[in-house]
Structure 1
Amino acid sequence: MSSDPRQRPHHRPAMQAGAFFDGLIGGTDPAQVSEAADRAATLLVRGAADSADAAVADRLLHLADEEGLETLAELWSHAAFDSLAGCLWRLYLLRAWVHATPNLAADQFEVGRTAAPVARVVAGVADPPGPDQVRAMIDAVLRGIAVADFADVLFRAAAFARVVAVGRATLEAPDAQAMLGLAEQLEAAGHLELAHALA
């Protein structure tokens, strides 16, 4: 089976998360869909944080795999970075990229880590940062939604994205600025979360 989530057949899982988004997509009123999507993001983040349950963490980790990244995109891709919905979209998008291109992610992280040592430490990727290590790190970050402080989740993801952005810039990759923008948005959202201003 392909590791690219865009090529996987998607299905509704036989668990609570499967019914979670029912009725949100395909509605006639975009404002109502947006409001429901925001409410779903709040329930996922705030409800998961109260559970500290490994099963919940695993469900959150595989949400995009189970529901389909396209479903999450329809719900959250237009959400502002300084919202819970926007944060979740950016986290799942980052995970999807790492899982689709783990060798590239590891190579770019490897190149960038010497120029961004503080971010490298915050990201917490094992040394040496091979494809298995970057996949394990991004999965640990997503599991953190349920078992860690959400600000820490955002800061770790931001640090990883920042190191990758430095690696891309060093390699003169054309999309370095986009990854840097993602890092800055996640970091800013982390500070909002610390200030209890992220909703």
Structure 2
Amino acid sequence: MPRRFHRPTQFSGSEFEAFQGGDDPATMNRVAHESASALVARVKHDPSPEILDRLVTFTDQHGIDAVAELWARASPHSLPGALWRIYLVRAVIRQNPVEVTQLFERGVEVATTIDPVVAGAPAPASPEEILELADLILRGVFVGDFAIALERGAAFCRLAAAGATSVADDQDAVGSDRAGELTRRALRFSELGVDLVACAHLWRDDSLD
């Protein structure tokens, strides 16, 4: 983990903040891959409750930028890229659980797929239950089936994206400026979902590194 710890970072609800890594891209890429592989292997070997709790709540204490320094600049379809996106999704949920739950619930209402089942949230879901789901998905990355955890995260992102798009349509109909913000959020959630699915497929092919 990084030597310098930071206070939790806040970021816009419409655009998930991009983070810059170190000065040497090659070195940062090597550190990202090595740290991600070592962390996953370490927890798989010794999945103690104390270690898992510390990993799940790490960004609550040190901020999402502490994880971003390691993994945000890695390829989206890599092990560090997958870990970064799961942590990012959890951070977005924790920053505004009420609003994200509303988007998720609207997404469930308009969904025509099995995404609500894959995501695994109760219906209807409360903000507290969505917060718990975020923790369960992250925990599953370390102690469950890695690909399934990524697919649950992807399903959540698709539902949140669908909900944001639906609410944006409502806002656009009444001439609200919020429609554009919601559309951008929908796009970002959708992109996260696509990346997580790709990583899940690579993991099953034993080619996610």
Provide the residue aligned with 2:78 in structure 1.
83
Counterpart of 1:11?
none
Offset of 1:56 from its aligned partner?
2.1
In structure 1, which of residues 168, 187, 190 is the aligned counterpart of residue 197 of structure 2?
Answer: 187
Within 1, Cα distance between the matches of 2:114 and 2:195?
Answer: 18
Shift of 1:27: 6.4
Match of residue 13 from structure 1: none
Give 1:151 shift.
0.6
**Structure 1 residues 156-167: aligned runs within 5 Å:** 156-167=152-163
Match in the other structure for 1:135: 131
Q: CA deviation at 1:33?
A: 2.7
Aligned length in residues: 179
2:8, 2:61 within 8 Å by CA — same for their partners in 1?
no
| Residue identity opposite 1:34 in structure 2 | N
Structure 2: runs of 5+ lacking an equivalent: 1-6, 11-19, 169-181
1:129-165 deviation digits (Å, cap 9, x = unpaired): 1110110000011111222011111011001001101
Alpha-carbon distance in 1 for matches of 2:22, 2:97: 36
Which of 5, 9, 28 in structure 2 is aligned with 1:6? 9
Provide the C-alpha distance between the structure 2 equivalents of 1:184 and 1:93, rounded to a whole number of angstroms: 14
Q: How far has the Cα of 1:46 moved from its partner?
A: 2.6
Tell me the equivalent position of 1:65.
60
For residues 97 and 22 of structure 2, the distance between their equivalents in structure 1, rounded to whole angstroms, comes to: 36
1:74 aligned onto 2:33: no
Give the superposed CA RMSD: 2.0
Calculate the TM-score normalised by the size of structure 1. Answer: 0.83
TM-score between the two structures when normalised by the length of structure 2: 0.79
Query: Separation in 2 of the partners of 1:26 and 1:122?
Result: 33
Residue aligning to 2:171? none
CA distance in 2, matches of 1:158, 1:103: 20
Letter in 1 for 2:9: R
